[in-house]
Amino acid sequence: MKIYIPPQVKRLLLFLPFIILLFIIFRRLVIPDTFGDLGHYRAASLEDYKAREVNYAGHELCGYCHDDIAASLASDLHSTLACEGCHGPGQKHVDDPEAHNIGLTPDRAFCALCHAKLPARNPEVITQIDPAGHNPDKNCIECHNPHMPLEISE
């Protein structure tokens, strides 16, 4: 039995390779270079992430210059604290200490972020005070040295 192919379909079939070619070219143009190298994503995106700037330098760097403070910090209750946890991101200060300083003058509210009494805070993990009752007119650092909290001056 002879299959009848309409003339318009025959004409369309002539164009079929061209259409496929066009599709392949279009696909190459729209899919990024590294797409699919590691999975169903653009592998170069990982490099984009790696190139992002670091803001928190890490606690090890601070001790290279501020070895005295690092030593006193390590000797007391606050030894588990990272410098930048209180002082804020320090990468700019590491790169250019003259232009960027990250000195800190904490107020009562700052210390209360950790030390205010809350039912949710585990008393075995952190020493807590009632900010309204514990010397309310004084700033914490007038008596407590934040780097050596056990040392109290009055």
Partner 1 sequence: MKKNNQVIKEKGMAGEKEAVGKGGREKSRRDFLKSTAAFTGGVMAFGLLKGTNALVFAAAEPASETGPWYGIGIDILKCIGCGKCAAACKKENHVPEEPWYFRSWVEKYTITKDGEVHVESPNGGINGFTETIPEEEIFKSFFVPKMCNHCYQSPCVQVCPVGASYDSPEGVVLVDEKYCIGCRYCIQACPYGCRFINPVTKSADKCTLCYHRIAEGLMPACFEVCPTGARIFGDLRDENGELHKFLQTHNVQVLKPHLNTGSKLYYNALSQEVR
| Binding of residue 118 to partner 1 (CB under 8 A) | yes
Of these, 5, 9, 125, 152, which contacts partner 1 (CB under 8 A)? 125
CB of residue 7 to partner 1, shortest distance in Å: 40
Give the span between the Cα atoms of 11 and 8, in whole angstroms. Answer: 5
Of these, 51, 99, 132, 152, which contacts partner 1 (CB under 8 A)? 51
132 DSSP assignment: T
The neighbour count for residue 140, using CB atoms within 10 Å, is 21
Of these, 20, 109, 143, 150, which contacts partner 1 (CB under 8 A)? 109
Give the span between the Cα atoms of 111 and 139, in whole angstroms. Answer: 9
Stretch in the footprint of partner 1 (CB under 8 A) among 2-10, 97-105, 122-130, 139-147? 122-130
Q: Which position has the token pair 């928190």? A: 56
Choice between 47 and 67, CB closer to partner 1: 47
| Binding of residue 26 to partner 1 (CB under 8 A) | no
Of these, 63, 76, 81, 92, which contacts partner 1 (CB under 8 A)? 81
Q: How many CA atoms lie within 13 A of 27 on its CB side?
A: 6
| Binding of residue 119 to partner 1 (CB under 8 A) | yes
Distances, alpha carbon 29 to alpha carbons 23, 42, 71, in Å: 10, 14, 58
Q: If residue 45 lies in a helix (H) or strand (E), which one and from where to where? A: helix 44-50
Residues near partner 1 (CB under 8 A) are 32, 35, 38-42, 45-46, 48-56, 58-59, 78, 80-82, 84-85, 88-89, 109, 112-114, 116, 118-122, 125-126
